[in-house]
Structure 1
Amino acid sequence: MTIVRYNPWAEMNALQRQIDRMFEDVQAPVYRTPAAELTETDDALHLRLELPGIEAKDVDIEVTENAVKVIAQRKSETKTEEEAKTRSEFYYGKYQRVIPLKARVKNTEVTAEYKDGILNLTLPKTVEEKNKVVKVNLEQN
């Protein structure tokens, strides 16, 4: 009879390898945030967002005086091939980003251009109202 030393870590390592192999085939997509670039001039803010592989009809833009919210969805192509395995690193799903703005903008005068997966927004700044000082007279009887 041979004596064998029991190693509990060997079983744990084997279990870890089995779990890793199981998740190699089915990987959950990672939530991604579109890259942004914000530049400021004297009269406007210019925002560029990178939205590769998304059509203009799948982009929703909401602008308030203090922030820009962009929601975009990249839809997957459905292909059916018999007995074929596809391994894809493309991301399909919803992109969402809220970008706070440094200056107040006129959200009714925003212009947008979308070309080659790059969204360009021009956000004109508002002329902030100066503090008005009003003199109040107190009536005496």
Structure 2
Amino acid sequence: MALVRLEPFREIDTLQREMNRLFDDIFTPPTQRPNGHTFAPAAEIKETEDGIHLRLEVPGMEAKDLNVEVTAEAVSISGERKSENKSEEKGLYRSEFRYGKFQRVIPLPARIDNQNVQAEYKDGVLNLNLPKVEAEKNKVVKVSLG
């Protein structure tokens, strides 16, 4: 008779991965799933006293393939990946990259001056500097304590 070592933490990790996958399948629209050939670019947002800095990761795309629209309250990024890396060898067909359309709308934590937005796209990373409206910079809110 062989001894089987019990590893409870491995079982918990497996259970957590399965639960995460289940909730991802339930709450992710079919058009945004990897097998739906779309993606949502990863975003990083940082608010400072003078503005908001937004970085988006859109690798494998050119600036001409991106559409960026900015309102006072949100940023909308859309585009389409058109590049493909296909190979066929010994009857095996392989495509490494996902491709298709995407759109992401990111609500902003403060109103911005959308007439003075600065953008830079380099090495698959889109950087947006969004200056705050002057009224937002000097906004003071009185808090009552009783």
- Is TM-score (shorter-chain normalized) higher than 0.5? yes
For the pair shown, the structure with the greater C-alpha radius of gyration is: 1
> Structure 2: which 5+ residue stretches go unaligned?
1-33, 139-146
Percent identical: 58
Once the two structures are superposed, residues 48-103 of structure 1 have per-residue CA deviations (whole angstroms, 9 ceiling, x without a partner) of 00001001100000000000000021103487979854212311111210000000
Cα separation, partners in 2 of 1:39 and 1:55, compared to 1, 3 Å: same
> Structure 1: which 5+ residue stretches go unaligned?
1-26, 131-141
Cα separation, partners in 2 of 1:84 and 1:76, compared to 1, 3 Å: farther
**Residue 10 (structure 2) aligns with:** none
Cα separation, partners in 2 of 1:82 and 1:38, compared to 1, 3 Å: closer
Q: Quick check: 1:29–1:91 contact (8 Å CA) kept in 2?
A: no
Q: Which has the higher strand share?
A: 2
Q: Quote the offset at 1:29 in angstroms.
A: 3.5
**Residue 9 (structure 2) aligns with:** none
Cα separation, partners in 2 of 1:81 and 1:89, compared to 1, 3 Å: closer
Task: State how far apart, in whole Å, the 2-side matches of 1:123 and 1:99 are.
Answer: 13
Residue 108 (structure 1) aligned with residue 118 (structure 2): no
Q: Quick check: 2:69–2:75 contact (8 Å CA) kept in 1?
A: yes
Compute the RMSD of aligned alpha carbons: 2.6
